[in-house]
Structure 1
């Protein structure tokens, strides 16, 4: 007997089930025509295509800075609210992004931080 554990998600249509199963099978049916990168979800392909088009649909109302990804826009909003939920346990310095905290903590350990070009 084979036991199958199903994620607790609501699958309303057969197409939704097939799309969900791609997460587990690794099948990537959606391919970018410009760079051949492939994705299992159509939405991920659409987000990726913005890297080629330069489209930035998420615009900050306070400073007019625009973003291609919703997550980056949400993180940016913290710069206006002053919210810094990520705090260093060694020196209590706080950061708006977890990645900045991780880089900061590496400095405590004496690690060299390589900055990625923007």
Structure 2
């Protein structure tokens, strides 16, 4: 139901996001409950989504299948390669709507916004869903 029509009949009662499938809504609800049923067998990390656990497992194997075509760096996640490529291209897709500054990563824009709001900290509870925890810890 709704998969091919674009219809999203399943709505989250916590944040009003809509989903095409009930299973997607159930998975999403874990972001609100904090439930993390997918536990890494190698360390104490746990995840709300199985796909996140699968990505995490690569940190233990050392597998880095995403190779930069410009230098020798390789990454376990394609998203990390995409961010890295911006160091070569100079691409800064995250534009501040208060001034002319632009940033290569969303987390850098969020940190910069503190200069406009007078708050020089990041609300970790809200950002953890957007960024890898290690990135957050580096900027706090």
> TM class, shorter-chain normalised?
0.7 to 0.9
Q: 2:27, 2:48 within 8 Å by CA — same for their partners in 1?
A: yes
The structural deviation recorded for 1:31 is: 1.2
Q: What is the CA–CA distance in structure 2 between the aligned matches of 1:39 and 1:101, rounded to whole Å?
A: 29
Give 1:66's aligned residue: 46
Q: Does 1:32 align with 2:12?
A: yes
| TM alignment of 1:71-110, pairs within 5 A | 71-110=51-90
Larger-Rg structure: 1
Alignment coverage as a number of residue pairs: 98
Runs (4+) off by over 4 Å: none
- Could you tell me the TM-score, scaled by structure 1's length? 0.77
| TM alignment of 1:49-60, pairs within 5 A | 49-60=29-40
RMSD: 1.2
The structural deviation recorded for 1:115 is: 4.0
Q: Which runs of 5+ in 2 are unaligned?
A: 92-102, 108-126, 129-140
